[in-house]
Chains A and B, each alone.
Chain A
Amino acid sequence: MIEISHVNKWYGPTFQVLKDCTTSVAKGEVVVVCGPSGSGKSTLIKCVNALEPFQEGQIILDGIKVNDPKTDLPKLRARVGMVFQHFELFPHLRIIENLCLAQEKVLGRSHGEAVAKGEKLLERVGLTVQANKYPAELSGGQQQRVAIARALAMDPIAMLFDEPTSALDPEMISEVLDVMVDLAHEGMTMMVVTHEMGFASKVANRVIFMDRGEIVEDALKTDFFGSPRSERAQKFLSKILSH
Protein backbone atom coordinates (compact mmCIF):
# COMPACT_ATOMS: atom_id res chain seq x y z
CA MET A 1 0.00 0.00 0.00
CA ILE A 2 2.72 2.47 1.02
CA GLU A 3 6.21 1.87 -0.35
CA ILE A 4 8.93 4.19 0.88
CA SER A 5 12.30 3.65 -0.73
CA HIS A 6 15.60 5.42 -0.20
CA VAL A 7 14.04 8.75 0.74
CA ASN A 8 16.49 11.55 1.44
CA LYS A 9 15.42 15.00 2.49
CA TRP A 10 17.37 18.12 3.31
CA TYR A 11 16.35 21.42 4.83
CA GLY A 12 18.59 23.89 3.12
CA PRO A 13 21.86 22.76 1.57
CA THR A 14 23.37 20.95 4.54
CA PHE A 15 20.83 19.85 7.14
CA GLN A 16 19.64 16.35 6.33
CA VAL A 17 16.37 15.39 8.05
CA LEU A 18 15.78 12.02 6.37
CA LYS A 19 18.61 9.65 5.53
CA ASP A 20 17.94 6.84 3.10
CA CYS A 21 14.62 5.83 4.64
CA THR A 22 13.18 2.61 3.28
CA THR A 23 10.13 0.82 4.61
CA SER A 24 6.63 -0.17 3.65
CA VAL A 25 3.12 -0.55 5.01
CA ALA A 26 1.06 -3.40 3.62
CA LYS A 27 -2.71 -3.32 3.19
CA GLY A 28 -4.41 -3.78 6.54
CA GLU A 29 -1.17 -3.39 8.42
CA VAL A 30 -0.69 -1.07 11.40
CA VAL A 31 2.80 0.37 11.63
CA VAL A 32 3.89 2.52 14.54
CA VAL A 33 6.76 4.95 14.04
CA CYS A 34 8.53 6.07 17.19
CA GLY A 35 11.75 7.76 18.15
CA PRO A 36 13.09 10.78 20.02
CA SER A 37 11.93 14.25 19.04
CA GLY A 38 13.70 15.63 16.01
CA SER A 39 14.30 12.15 14.64
CA GLY A 40 12.34 12.89 11.46
CA LYS A 41 9.33 10.66 12.09
CA SER A 42 6.75 13.43 11.54
CA THR A 43 8.62 14.58 8.47
CA LEU A 44 8.62 11.05 7.06
CA ILE A 45 4.86 10.59 7.52
CA LYS A 46 4.21 13.98 5.91
CA CYS A 47 6.25 12.90 2.91
CA VAL A 48 3.82 10.04 2.36
CA ASN A 49 1.02 12.37 1.25
CA ALA A 50 3.44 14.97 -0.09
CA LEU A 51 2.72 17.62 2.52
CA GLU A 52 6.51 17.74 2.74
CA PRO A 53 8.60 17.52 -0.42
CA PHE A 54 11.76 15.41 -0.50
CA GLN A 55 14.74 15.50 -2.80
CA GLU A 56 15.73 11.88 -3.38
CA GLY A 57 14.12 8.47 -3.43
CA GLN A 58 10.51 7.63 -4.05
CA ILE A 59 7.26 6.92 -2.26
CA ILE A 60 4.56 4.88 -3.93
CA LEU A 61 1.05 5.06 -2.57
CA ASP A 62 -1.38 2.45 -3.85
CA GLY A 63 0.61 2.18 -7.07
CA ILE A 64 0.93 5.94 -7.62
CA LYS A 65 4.27 7.67 -7.34
CA VAL A 66 3.86 10.52 -4.85
CA ASN A 67 6.88 12.54 -5.96
CA ASP A 68 6.07 12.43 -9.64
CA PRO A 69 5.39 15.99 -10.83
CA LYS A 70 2.59 14.62 -13.00
CA THR A 71 0.71 13.14 -10.05
CA ASP A 72 -2.55 14.87 -9.21
CA LEU A 73 -1.72 15.50 -5.57
CA PRO A 74 -5.10 16.77 -4.34
CA LYS A 75 -6.72 13.66 -5.80
CA LEU A 76 -4.14 11.39 -4.21
CA ARG A 77 -4.34 13.12 -0.82
CA ALA A 78 -8.11 12.81 -0.82
CA ARG A 79 -7.66 9.04 -0.66
CA VAL A 80 -5.41 9.03 2.42
CA GLY A 81 -6.67 10.33 5.73
CA MET A 82 -4.38 12.35 7.94
CA VAL A 83 -4.73 13.25 11.59
CA PHE A 84 -2.54 16.01 13.00
CA GLN A 85 -0.99 16.63 16.38
CA HIS A 86 -2.94 19.86 16.84
CA PHE A 87 -6.20 18.54 15.33
CA GLU A 88 -6.42 21.36 12.77
CA LEU A 89 -10.19 21.46 12.73
CA PHE A 90 -11.45 24.48 10.84
CA PRO A 91 -12.41 26.89 13.64
CA HIS A 92 -14.83 28.95 11.57
CA LEU A 93 -16.96 25.94 10.65
CA ARG A 94 -19.34 23.90 12.77
CA ILE A 95 -18.36 20.31 13.53
CA ILE A 96 -20.73 18.87 10.93
CA GLU A 97 -19.47 21.41 8.37
CA ASN A 98 -15.92 20.33 9.13
CA LEU A 99 -16.95 16.82 8.18
CA CYS A 100 -18.87 17.80 5.06
CA LEU A 101 -16.66 20.38 3.35
CA ALA A 102 -14.17 18.08 1.63
CA GLN A 103 -16.82 15.43 0.92
CA GLU A 104 -18.74 18.00 -1.10
CA LYS A 105 -15.93 20.03 -2.64
CA VAL A 106 -13.51 17.21 -3.35
CA LEU A 107 -15.61 14.06 -3.75
CA GLY A 108 -18.60 15.90 -5.19
CA ARG A 109 -21.09 14.33 -2.83
CA SER A 110 -24.43 16.07 -2.39
CA HIS A 111 -24.98 18.00 0.81
CA GLY A 112 -27.51 15.42 1.99
CA GLU A 113 -25.14 12.52 1.39
CA ALA A 114 -22.28 14.33 3.10
CA VAL A 115 -24.37 15.18 6.16
CA ALA A 116 -25.65 11.61 6.44
CA LYS A 117 -22.10 10.27 6.26
CA GLY A 118 -20.88 12.90 8.71
CA GLU A 119 -23.60 12.11 11.23
CA LYS A 120 -22.87 8.40 11.00
CA LEU A 121 -19.20 9.02 11.74
CA LEU A 122 -19.96 11.45 14.57
CA GLU A 123 -22.11 8.76 16.13
CA ARG A 124 -19.26 6.33 15.75
CA VAL A 125 -16.85 8.58 17.66
CA GLY A 126 -19.59 9.39 20.18
CA LEU A 127 -20.06 13.05 19.38
CA THR A 128 -23.51 13.25 17.80
CA VAL A 129 -24.65 15.96 20.21
CA GLN A 130 -21.76 18.22 19.27
CA ALA A 131 -22.62 18.35 15.56
CA ASN A 132 -23.67 22.00 15.55
CA LYS A 133 -21.01 23.35 17.87
CA TYR A 134 -17.79 25.04 16.86
CA PRO A 135 -14.42 23.33 17.42
CA ALA A 136 -13.41 25.78 20.17
CA GLU A 137 -16.37 24.57 22.26
CA LEU A 138 -15.01 21.00 22.36
CA SER A 139 -12.29 19.47 24.52
CA GLY A 140 -9.00 18.43 22.94
CA GLY A 141 -9.94 14.77 22.96
CA GLN A 142 -13.28 15.49 21.35
CA GLN A 143 -11.63 17.66 18.72
CA GLN A 144 -9.19 14.92 17.83
CA ARG A 145 -12.05 12.41 17.51
CA VAL A 146 -13.78 14.84 15.15
CA ALA A 147 -10.53 15.12 13.19
CA ILE A 148 -10.44 11.33 12.84
CA ALA A 149 -14.09 11.31 11.74
CA ARG A 150 -13.34 14.08 9.23
CA ALA A 151 -10.58 11.98 7.68
CA LEU A 152 -12.75 8.85 7.66
CA ALA A 153 -15.54 10.73 5.89
CA MET A 154 -13.42 10.64 2.75
CA ASP A 155 -13.44 6.80 2.77
CA PRO A 156 -9.64 6.67 2.83
CA ILE A 157 -7.64 3.63 1.77
CA ALA A 158 -5.13 4.33 4.55
CA MET A 159 -4.79 6.61 7.55
CA LEU A 160 -1.75 8.59 8.64
CA PHE A 161 -1.54 9.74 12.26
CA ASP A 162 1.04 12.35 13.22
CA GLU A 163 1.38 12.24 17.01
CA PRO A 164 -2.39 12.24 17.50
CA THR A 165 -2.25 12.24 21.29
CA SER A 166 0.81 14.37 22.02
CA ALA A 167 -1.13 17.61 22.46
CA LEU A 168 -3.77 16.06 24.70
CA ASP A 169 -4.21 16.14 28.43
CA PRO A 170 -3.51 12.68 29.88
CA GLU A 171 -7.13 11.92 30.73
CA MET A 172 -8.17 12.44 27.11
CA ILE A 173 -5.61 10.23 25.48
CA SER A 174 -7.51 6.99 25.92
CA GLU A 175 -10.72 8.21 24.26
CA VAL A 176 -8.70 8.95 21.12
CA LEU A 177 -6.67 5.74 21.29
CA ASP A 178 -9.90 3.73 21.68
CA VAL A 179 -11.14 5.07 18.35
CA MET A 180 -7.81 4.22 16.75
CA VAL A 181 -7.78 0.71 18.20
CA ASP A 182 -11.27 0.08 16.80
CA LEU A 183 -10.09 1.32 13.45
CA ALA A 184 -7.10 -1.02 13.51
CA HIS A 185 -9.32 -3.98 14.41
CA GLU A 186 -11.49 -3.21 11.41
CA GLY A 187 -8.49 -3.70 9.18
CA MET A 188 -7.67 -0.09 8.31
CA THR A 189 -4.17 0.41 6.97
CA MET A 190 -2.48 2.75 9.42
CA MET A 191 0.83 4.50 9.82
CA VAL A 192 1.03 6.05 13.26
CA VAL A 193 3.70 8.32 14.67
CA THR A 194 3.29 8.07 18.42
CA HIS A 195 4.97 7.62 21.77
CA GLU A 196 2.07 5.52 23.04
CA MET A 197 3.82 2.19 23.43
CA GLY A 198 0.68 0.70 24.96
CA PHE A 199 -1.11 1.36 21.68
CA ALA A 200 1.84 -0.07 19.76
CA SER A 201 1.93 -3.26 21.77
CA LYS A 202 -1.83 -3.67 21.50
CA VAL A 203 -2.48 -3.20 17.79
CA ALA A 204 0.72 -2.61 15.83
CA ASN A 205 2.02 -5.23 13.43
CA ARG A 206 5.38 -3.56 13.11
CA VAL A 207 7.29 -0.89 14.92
CA ILE A 208 9.74 1.44 13.22
CA PHE A 209 12.28 3.21 15.36
CA MET A 210 13.86 6.36 13.96
CA ASP A 211 16.76 8.42 15.22
CA ARG A 212 18.52 11.37 13.58
CA GLY A 213 16.69 10.92 10.31
CA GLU A 214 17.45 7.24 9.97
CA ILE A 215 15.26 4.19 10.30
CA VAL A 216 17.32 2.41 12.91
CA GLU A 217 14.99 -0.46 13.49
CA ASP A 218 12.05 -1.88 11.54
CA ALA A 219 10.79 -4.96 13.32
CA LEU A 220 7.75 -7.01 14.15
CA LYS A 221 6.12 -5.79 17.31
CA THR A 222 7.08 -8.84 19.34
CA ASP A 223 10.71 -8.60 18.27
CA PHE A 224 10.85 -4.89 18.95
CA PHE A 225 9.50 -5.04 22.47
CA GLY A 226 11.17 -8.39 23.20
CA SER A 227 14.68 -7.64 22.11
CA PRO A 228 15.40 -4.46 20.21
CA ARG A 229 18.71 -4.97 18.52
CA SER A 230 20.10 -1.47 18.40
CA GLU A 231 21.49 0.26 21.42
CA ARG A 232 19.65 3.47 20.53
CA ALA A 233 16.30 1.73 20.46
CA GLN A 234 17.03 0.05 23.78
CA LYS A 235 17.89 3.40 25.35
CA PHE A 236 14.77 5.03 23.95
CA LEU A 237 12.54 2.23 25.17
CA SER A 238 14.03 2.21 28.64
CA LYS A 239 13.50 5.96 28.86
CA ILE A 240 9.85 6.02 27.89
CA LEU A 241 8.88 2.82 29.64
CA SER A 242 10.65 3.54 32.92
CA HIS A 243 8.19 6.15 34.21
Chain B
Amino acid sequence: MFGNLDFDVIRRSLPYLFLDGMSFTLMLTGLSALGGLVFGTMIALMRLSSYRLMGRIAGLYVDFMRSLPLVLVIFWFYFLVPYIGQWVTGASRPIRVGAFTSSLVTFIMFEAAYFSEIMRAGIQSISRGQPAAASALGLTYAQSMRYIVLPQAFRNMLPVLLTQTIVLFQDTSLVYVLSIPDFLGAASKVAQRDGRLVEMYLFAALVYFAISCLASYGVRRLQARIAIVR
Protein backbone atom coordinates (compact mmCIF):
# COMPACT_ATOMS: atom_id res chain seq x y z
CA MET B 1 0.00 0.00 0.00
CA PHE B 2 2.88 2.35 0.74
CA GLY B 3 4.48 1.53 -2.58
CA ASN B 4 3.02 4.41 -4.50
CA LEU B 5 3.36 7.03 -1.81
CA ASP B 6 5.33 10.15 -2.68
CA PHE B 7 6.84 11.72 0.38
CA ASP B 8 8.67 14.27 -1.72
CA VAL B 9 5.46 16.32 -1.69
CA ILE B 10 6.22 17.14 1.94
CA ARG B 11 9.70 18.41 1.15
CA ARG B 12 8.37 20.53 -1.68
CA SER B 13 5.69 22.15 0.45
CA LEU B 14 7.76 22.64 3.62
CA PRO B 15 8.16 26.42 3.27
CA TYR B 16 4.45 26.89 2.73
CA LEU B 17 3.51 24.51 5.54
CA PHE B 18 5.74 26.13 8.13
CA LEU B 19 6.23 29.74 7.09
CA ASP B 20 2.56 30.26 6.34
CA GLY B 21 0.70 27.46 8.12
CA MET B 22 2.65 26.87 11.29
CA SER B 23 3.40 30.53 11.90
CA PHE B 24 -0.33 31.23 11.69
CA THR B 25 -1.08 28.39 14.10
CA LEU B 26 1.56 29.48 16.60
CA MET B 27 0.53 33.11 16.41
CA LEU B 28 -3.11 32.17 16.94
CA THR B 29 -2.20 29.87 19.84
CA GLY B 30 0.03 32.43 21.53
CA LEU B 31 -2.30 35.39 21.21
CA SER B 32 -5.35 33.33 22.17
CA ALA B 33 -3.61 31.99 25.26
CA LEU B 34 -2.55 35.48 26.29
CA GLY B 35 -5.96 37.03 25.64
CA GLY B 36 -7.74 34.05 27.18
CA LEU B 37 -5.60 34.34 30.30
CA VAL B 38 -6.31 38.05 30.74
CA PHE B 39 -10.02 37.73 30.00
CA GLY B 40 -10.24 34.48 31.96
CA THR B 41 -8.62 36.07 35.01
CA MET B 42 -11.21 38.84 34.86
CA ILE B 43 -13.99 36.26 34.72
CA ALA B 44 -12.44 34.38 37.63
CA LEU B 45 -12.35 37.59 39.70
CA MET B 46 -15.98 38.22 38.80
CA ARG B 47 -16.96 34.71 39.86
CA LEU B 48 -15.19 35.15 43.19
CA SER B 49 -16.52 38.64 43.80
CA SER B 50 -18.90 39.25 46.64
CA TYR B 51 -21.41 40.80 44.27
CA ARG B 52 -23.78 37.94 43.59
CA LEU B 53 -24.99 39.20 40.24
CA MET B 54 -21.47 39.52 38.82
CA GLY B 55 -20.65 36.01 39.95
CA ARG B 56 -23.83 34.71 38.38
CA ILE B 57 -23.14 36.38 35.03
CA ALA B 58 -19.58 35.06 34.93
CA GLY B 59 -20.79 31.60 35.89
CA LEU B 60 -23.37 31.60 33.12
CA TYR B 61 -20.75 32.65 30.60
CA VAL B 62 -18.41 29.84 31.61
CA ASP B 63 -21.15 27.21 31.57
CA PHE B 64 -22.40 28.46 28.22
CA MET B 65 -19.01 28.35 26.53
CA ARG B 66 -18.16 24.97 27.98
CA SER B 67 -21.43 23.46 26.79
CA LEU B 68 -20.86 24.24 23.12
CA PRO B 69 -18.73 22.34 20.65
CA LEU B 70 -15.79 24.51 19.64
CA VAL B 71 -16.45 24.05 15.91
CA LEU B 72 -19.90 25.55 16.32
CA VAL B 73 -18.53 28.52 18.22
CA ILE B 74 -15.96 29.10 15.48
CA PHE B 75 -18.66 28.98 12.83
CA TRP B 76 -21.04 31.23 14.63
CA PHE B 77 -18.41 33.79 15.49
CA TYR B 78 -17.21 33.96 11.94
CA PHE B 79 -20.69 34.92 10.81
CA LEU B 80 -21.62 36.99 13.84
CA VAL B 81 -18.49 39.08 14.46
CA PRO B 82 -19.12 41.37 11.46
CA TYR B 83 -22.60 42.12 12.75
CA ILE B 84 -21.48 42.56 16.35
CA GLY B 85 -18.83 44.93 15.05
CA GLN B 86 -21.46 46.86 13.15
CA TRP B 87 -23.63 47.07 16.24
CA VAL B 88 -20.75 48.19 18.48
CA THR B 89 -19.35 50.82 16.15
CA GLY B 90 -22.71 51.90 14.75
CA ALA B 91 -21.51 51.45 11.18
CA SER B 92 -24.03 51.27 8.36
CA ARG B 93 -22.98 47.86 7.13
CA PRO B 94 -21.38 44.74 8.69
CA ILE B 95 -17.73 45.31 9.54
CA ARG B 96 -15.36 43.33 7.44
CA VAL B 97 -13.33 41.11 9.72
CA GLY B 98 -10.45 39.00 8.54
CA ALA B 99 -10.42 35.30 9.22
CA PHE B 100 -7.51 35.71 11.61
CA THR B 101 -9.22 38.36 13.73
CA SER B 102 -12.44 36.40 13.80
CA SER B 103 -10.77 33.19 14.90
CA LEU B 104 -8.62 35.05 17.41
CA VAL B 105 -11.68 36.59 19.05
CA THR B 106 -13.37 33.20 19.06
CA PHE B 107 -10.48 31.43 20.73
CA ILE B 108 -9.97 34.17 23.29
CA MET B 109 -13.63 34.04 24.29
CA PHE B 110 -13.69 30.26 24.31
CA GLU B 111 -10.42 29.69 26.11
CA ALA B 112 -11.26 32.39 28.66
CA ALA B 113 -13.94 30.05 29.99
CA TYR B 114 -11.36 27.33 30.61
CA PHE B 115 -8.57 29.60 31.82
CA SER B 116 -10.99 31.28 34.22
CA GLU B 117 -11.67 27.97 35.95
CA ILE B 118 -7.94 27.34 36.29
CA MET B 119 -7.30 30.83 37.65
CA ARG B 120 -10.25 30.50 40.00
CA ALA B 121 -8.74 27.35 41.46
CA GLY B 122 -5.40 29.14 41.65
CA ILE B 123 -6.82 32.11 43.51
CA GLN B 124 -8.69 29.84 45.89
CA SER B 125 -5.48 27.94 46.61
CA ILE B 126 -3.98 31.07 48.20
CA SER B 127 -4.63 31.13 51.94
CA ARG B 128 -6.98 33.87 53.12
CA GLY B 129 -4.23 35.24 55.32
CA GLN B 130 -2.39 36.58 52.28
CA PRO B 131 -5.03 39.08 51.12
CA ALA B 132 -5.69 39.84 54.81
CA ALA B 133 -2.02 40.75 55.31
CA ALA B 134 -2.10 42.85 52.16
CA SER B 135 -5.20 44.68 53.36
CA ALA B 136 -3.68 45.20 56.79
CA LEU B 137 -0.76 46.99 55.11
CA GLY B 138 -3.21 49.35 53.43
CA LEU B 139 -3.24 47.81 49.96
CA THR B 140 -6.53 48.18 48.13
CA TYR B 141 -8.39 45.17 46.74
CA ALA B 142 -6.97 45.82 43.28
CA GLN B 143 -3.42 46.19 44.58
CA SER B 144 -3.70 43.09 46.73
CA MET B 145 -4.88 41.11 43.70
CA ARG B 146 -2.24 42.52 41.40
CA TYR B 147 0.81 42.28 43.64
CA ILE B 148 -0.01 39.49 46.08
CA VAL B 149 -2.76 37.08 45.04
CA LEU B 150 -2.59 36.83 41.25
CA PRO B 151 1.19 36.43 40.96
CA GLN B 152 1.04 33.51 43.39
CA ALA B 153 -2.06 32.02 41.78
CA PHE B 154 -0.46 32.30 38.35
CA ARG B 155 2.74 30.65 39.53
CA ASN B 156 0.91 27.80 41.24
CA MET B 157 -1.21 27.21 38.15
CA LEU B 158 1.47 27.70 35.49
CA PRO B 159 1.79 23.98 34.63
CA VAL B 160 -1.98 23.61 34.26
CA LEU B 161 -2.20 26.80 32.20
CA LEU B 162 0.53 25.56 29.88
CA THR B 163 -1.13 22.16 29.52
CA GLN B 164 -4.35 23.90 28.56
CA THR B 165 -2.34 25.91 26.03
CA ILE B 166 -1.11 22.68 24.46
CA VAL B 167 -4.72 21.58 24.10
CA LEU B 168 -5.44 24.99 22.59
CA PHE B 169 -2.58 24.50 20.14
CA GLN B 170 -4.27 21.35 18.86
CA ASP B 171 -7.71 22.95 18.90
CA THR B 172 -6.64 25.81 16.66
CA SER B 173 -6.59 23.27 13.82
CA LEU B 174 -10.39 23.51 13.84
CA VAL B 175 -10.17 26.87 12.07
CA TYR B 176 -9.68 24.84 8.91
CA VAL B 177 -13.51 24.78 8.71
CA LEU B 178 -13.20 28.47 7.75
CA SER B 179 -10.74 27.48 5.00
CA ILE B 180 -7.98 29.33 6.82
CA PRO B 181 -4.49 28.12 5.98
CA ASP B 182 -3.30 27.30 9.47
CA PHE B 183 -0.90 24.38 9.63
CA LEU B 184 -3.58 21.74 9.12
CA GLY B 185 -5.38 23.92 6.57
CA ALA B 186 -2.15 24.36 4.60
CA ALA B 187 -1.44 20.65 4.70
CA SER B 188 -4.96 19.94 3.60
CA LYS B 189 -4.69 22.34 0.68
CA VAL B 190 -1.51 20.75 -0.60
CA ALA B 191 -3.00 17.31 -0.06
CA GLN B 192 -5.99 18.06 -2.20
CA ARG B 193 -4.10 19.96 -4.88
CA ASP B 194 -1.58 17.18 -5.37
CA GLY B 195 -3.83 14.29 -4.46
CA ARG B 196 -1.50 13.26 -1.67
CA LEU B 197 -3.93 12.93 1.23
CA VAL B 198 -2.26 10.09 3.10
CA GLU B 199 1.21 11.63 3.02
CA MET B 200 0.12 15.10 4.06
CA TYR B 201 -2.27 14.07 6.85
CA LEU B 202 0.28 11.61 8.16
CA PHE B 203 2.89 14.33 8.23
CA ALA B 204 0.52 16.85 9.86
CA ALA B 205 -0.34 14.35 12.61
CA LEU B 206 3.35 13.70 13.20
CA VAL B 207 4.14 17.39 13.54
CA TYR B 208 1.28 18.02 15.97
CA PHE B 209 2.33 14.97 17.93
CA ALA B 210 5.97 15.98 18.10
CA ILE B 211 5.32 19.56 19.17
CA SER B 212 2.69 18.65 21.77
CA CYS B 213 4.84 15.88 23.20
CA LEU B 214 7.85 18.13 23.47
CA ALA B 215 5.83 20.87 25.10
CA SER B 216 4.30 18.43 27.60
CA TYR B 217 7.75 17.22 28.49
CA GLY B 218 8.81 20.81 29.05
CA VAL B 219 5.82 21.43 31.32
CA ARG B 220 6.65 18.35 33.40
CA ARG B 221 10.19 19.55 33.90
CA LEU B 222 8.97 22.99 34.85
CA GLN B 223 6.54 21.45 37.33
CA ALA B 224 9.35 19.56 39.01
CA ARG B 225 11.39 22.75 39.28
CA ILE B 226 8.53 24.75 40.77
CA ALA B 227 7.89 21.97 43.28
CA ILE B 228 11.46 22.26 44.55
CA VAL B 229 11.35 26.01 44.90
CA ARG B 230 8.21 25.78 47.00
Residue of A nearest to B141 (CB): A74
A113 to chain B, nearest CB (A): 16
Q: Which of B135, B137, B148 is the one whose CB lies under 8 Å from A154?
A: B137
Interface size grouping (class) on chain A: 20 to 34
| A26 within 8 Å of B (CB atoms) | no
- Least CB distance from B144 to A in Å reads 9
Given known pairs A91-B152, A92-B152, A105-B147, the reply for A74 and B139 (CB within 8 Å) is: yes
A102-B230 CB under 8 A given contacts A88-B132, A91-B152: no
Within 8 A of B (CB), among A40-89: 49, 51, 73-75, 77-82, 84, 86, 88-89
Answer whether residue B3 sits at the interface, using C-beta atoms and an 8 A cutoff: no
How many B residues touch A, CB cutoff 8 Å? 19
B130 to chain A, nearest CB (A): 6
A91 CA / B125 CA spacing, docked (Å): 14
B-contacting residues, A142-156, CB 8 Å:
150-151, 154
A220 at the interface (CB under 8 A from B): no
Cβ contact of A74, chosen from B127, B130, B140, B148, cutoff 8 A:
B140
Cβ of B132: which chain A residues have Cβ within 8 Å of it? 51, 84, 88
Cα separation A81 to B136 with both chains bound (whole Å): 7
Q: Is A136 an interface residue (CB 8 A)?
A: yes
* A101 within 8 A of partner (CB): yes
Residue of A nearest to B133 (CB): A88
Residue numbers in B under 8 Å from A84 (CB-CB): 129, 132-133, 136
List, in ascending order, chain B residues with CB within 8 A of A80's CB.
136
